Amino acid sequence: MSEKDALEKKYSLLKRKIDKMGFISTGSVMSVYQKCGYSRCACAHDENARHGPYNRWTRKVKGKTVTRTLTDKQAKICKECISNYRSLEKIIEEMKKLSVEFIEGQK
């Protein structure tokens, strides 16, 4: 097998990984507890009485931070989408390296 064939095979395997990948998204999901703002509520005086946990999804949209509260089901799906996106970034970096090897190997 030639070097070109080996590079094309590796590249093709990476394309198949992308093809099998599900939805993607940027951002992060955090579980947070918070005060409600009522001075008479226990959360105003006791950190252990804060409300939550709430699932918060934070991401950038057109340079601005956008935050959404998600259900547990949505948070699980969102975490999978974020994980897929991070995997996609790694695959693309590998594809770029293979492309450089391919280009430089051409005479």
Q: Tokens 């959404």 label which residue?
A: 68
- Mind listing the pLDDT tens digit of every residue in the chain (107 residues)? 788 889 999 999 999 999 999 999 999 999 999 999 898 999 988 889 999 999 999 999 999 999 999 999 999 999 999 999 999 999 999 999 999 999 998 87
Residue type, 87: S
pTM for this one? 0.85
Rounded to a whole number of angstroms, the CA Rg of the chain reads 22
Tokens 């089901």, located at residue:
73
Length of the chain: 107
